[in-house]
Amino acid sequence: MTQPQSVCILGSTGSIGVNTLDVIARHTDRYSVYALTANKNVALMLAQCVQFHPSKVVMQDEQAAEQLRVQLNVKGLNIDVEQGASALAELAASEPVNIVVAAIVGAAGLLSTLAAAEAGKRILLANKEALVMSGQLLMQRAAKYGATIMPVDSEHNAIFQSLPATNSGVSFAGVENIVLTGSGGPLRKCSVEELSVVTPQQALKHPNWSMGRKISIDSATLMNKGLELIEACTLFDLPLEKVEVLIHPESVIHSMVRYSDGSVIAQLGQPDMRTPIAHALAWPERISSGVEPLDFKQLNGLHFEEPDTQRFPCLRLATEAQAVGGTAPTVLNAANEMAVDAFLNGFVSFLQLAQTVEYALTEAKISPASDLTTIIEADTIARQLAQNKIDTFRNKLS
C-alpha cells in the first residue's frame, strides 16, 4: 500500500478548512493531516487536534497559541504549536508536506502560499485574494519551482474539469472562451434605494452557499465575481475578453467552457465545496466527497441573466483593474478587504464599499507587479487610501 499523502491546511478553522477536513476524514488511507493552522479560534483548533492528531499547529495570534498549548497539555496531546506569519510560511514549505490547502482569507495568505509554491508543493488554492493581489508572481513561482496549483474555487475548478486533460494539467485546444457563473448573491433583486440601507446581516445571507463572512459580503457586492474574473485570467493565462460572467441564480452549473465547434462543456453539482475540494485533492483520480447527488427532477429550471454593473459596480471595478494590470488588482483587493471590514463593523454603508475601492483605484499609483516588495507596497498604500475614505464616511455619519 502507498503512503498517505501528508496535508497542511492553512486556515483549517474556516469554512474551506472545515470542509477539507470533512473530505479527508472519509479517506484516511489516502491523506494524513500533518499540520493545521488558524488565526485565533482556539476551541475549534483544539477539537480538530483531538480528531486529527496533526504533528504541527500554527496559530497566527500569540495569545491563541499560548492558550492552545495549555489546553493540548490538559488533554495529554503532544503537538508542536508555533505562532506567527513566518512560522506559517516555514510550515507550508516544510519537507514532510505533500499537499498545502491555501484556505486563509485575504492577503494574509499570500506569503505562506508563495512559500508553498517555492517549495514545489501541490497547492489546493482557495485563497483567491493571494492570487489576485500578486499579478503573475504566484503562477511564475509555481512554474519555476514545479508546484502544481489546483483550483478549489468552485468556478475555476469547474473550468478545470471542463477542459481537456493533459499529463500535466489541462489544455486550451479549441477553446473559444470560458463562462464564469455566479448566483448574483442575496441582494440580486434589490434596487439601488434598497441597497443603500442593506445591513451586514442581510448581506451575509447567501441564498445557496454557506461561506466565511468576507466572501459572503464579496458575493453580495459581486466583488467576488470580479476577483474570480481576475483569478480566471491569472490561473488560466487568459485575456479579459476570453472570460464571460453570467448570473445563474440556482448555482447548479458552476462554470462552463465554450469550444470553437459550438460545444459547451459545463460542470454541474450541488453548491457544496466538498466537491471541488475532493476533486482537487484526488485529481487525476476521483474520490467520494459526502456530497448528495444532484437530483435533476428536483430542479425548477436553470436561469441566466447579465450581471448588472450599475447596481453592483464592484464587478466593473475589478474588470477595469484587470484591464489596467500591474498593481491595479493588488490595490482593488486591498481596498476591498478594508471596505468589507468597515462594512461589517458598521462604519460604511453597502454602497460605500464600492466607492471606497474606486477611490483607492483612482488615487493609487499603479506600477508593474514585478516583485513582492512592489506588491506589498501597493497593498499597504491602498489600505491607507481606503482607510482615509472610510474615515470621511465615518465622520459624515457622526
Residues that bind Mg ion (CB under 5 A): 153-155
Residue 232: name the closest of 254, 249, 262, 250 by CA: 254
Nearer Cβ to ligand NAD (176/243): 243
Nearer Cβ to ligand NAD (196/225): 225
Cis previous bond, 186, omega within 30: no
- Angle at the Cα of 107 from the Cα atoms of 103 and 108, rounded to 5 degrees: 65
Q: Which helix (H) or strand (E) holds 244?
A: strand 243-247
Find the binder of ligand NAD among 69, 121, 122, 128 (CB under 6 A). Answer: 128
**What is the 8-class DSSP label of residue 82?**
E
Nearer Cβ to ligand NAD (44/77): 44
**Subset of 265-294 contacting ligand NAD (CB under 6 A):** 273
What b-and-e string marks burial along 23-34, b requiring 16 or more CB atoms within 10 Å of the CB? Answer: bbeebeebbbbb
**What is the 8-class DSSP label of residue 149?**
E
57 has which bridge partners? 36, 81
Within the chain, where are the H helices? 15-25, 42-52, 62-74, 85-93, 110-118, 128-133, 137-145, 154-162, 192-195, 200-204, 213-221, 223-236, 274-282, 313-324, 328-344, 350-363, 372-397
Residue 14: name its binding partner from Mg ion, ligand NAD, none (Cβ under 5 to 8 Å by kind): ligand NAD
Contact 138, 130 (CB under 8 A): yes
User: Taking CB under 6 A as the rule, does residue 156 contact ligand NAD?
Assistant: no
User: Taking CB under 6 A as the rule, does residue 331 contact ligand NAD?
Assistant: no
Q: How far is the CB of 341 from Mg ion (least distance, A)?
A: 20
What b-and-e string marks burial along 269-299, b requiring 16 or more CB atoms within 10 Å of the CB? Answer: bbbbbbbbbbbbbbbeeeeebebeeeeeeee
179 has which bridge partners? 244, 256
Residue 125: name its binding partner from ligand NAD, Mg ion, none (Cβ under 5 to 8 Å by kind): none
User: Taking CB under 6 A as the rule, does residue 348 contact ligand NAD?
Assistant: no
Nearer Cβ to ligand NAD (59/328): 59
Q: How far is the CB of 40 from ligand NAD (least distance, A)?
A: 7
Residue 129: name its binding partner from ligand NAD, Mg ion, none (Cβ under 5 to 8 Å by kind): ligand NAD
Residue 103: name its binding partner from ligand NAD, Mg ion, none (Cβ under 5 to 8 Å by kind): ligand NAD
**Subset of 97-116 contacting ligand NAD (CB under 6 A):** 103-105, 108
Question: Which residue number places its CB atom closest to ligand NAD?
Answer: 14
Nearer Cβ to ligand NAD (128/141): 128
User: Taking CB under 6 A as the rule, does residue 65 contact ligand NAD?
Assistant: no
Contact 153, 231 (CB under 8 A): yes
Nearer Cβ to Mg ion (187/364): 187
User: Taking CB under 6 A as the rule, does residue 211 contact ligand NAD?
Assistant: yes
CA–CA separation, 74 and 23 (whole Å): 28
Find the binder of ligand NAD among 153, 231, 272, 337 (CB under 6 A). Answer: 153
Contact 59, 68 (CB under 8 A): yes
244 has which bridge partners? 179
Find the binder of ligand NAD among 15, 275, 319, 336 (CB under 6 A). Answer: 15
Cβ contacts of 382 within 8 Å, gap of 6 or more: 330, 331, 332, 333, 334, 335, 338, 360, 364
**Radius of gyration of the chain measured on its C-alpha atoms:** 21
Residue 16: name its binding partner from Mg ion, ligand NAD, none (Cβ under 5 to 8 Å by kind): ligand NAD
Nearer Cβ to Mg ion (210/345): 210
Nearer Cβ to Mg ion (153/272): 153
Nearer Cβ to Mg ion (225/311): 225
- Which among 12-20, 196-204, 277-285, 375-383 is the span making contact with ligand NAD, rule CB under 6 A? 12-20
User: Taking CB under 6 A as the rule, does residue 330 contact ligand NAD?
Assistant: no
Contact 249, 308 (CB under 8 A): no
User: Taking CB under 6 A as the rule, does residue 39 contact ligand NAD?
Assistant: yes
Cβ contacts of 239 within 8 Å, gap of 6 or more: 233
Q: How far is the CB of 197 from ligand NAD (least distance, A)?
A: 26
Contacts with ligand NAD, residue ranges (CB under 6 A): 11-17, 38-39, 41, 60, 103-105, 108, 126-129, 153, 209, 211-215, 273
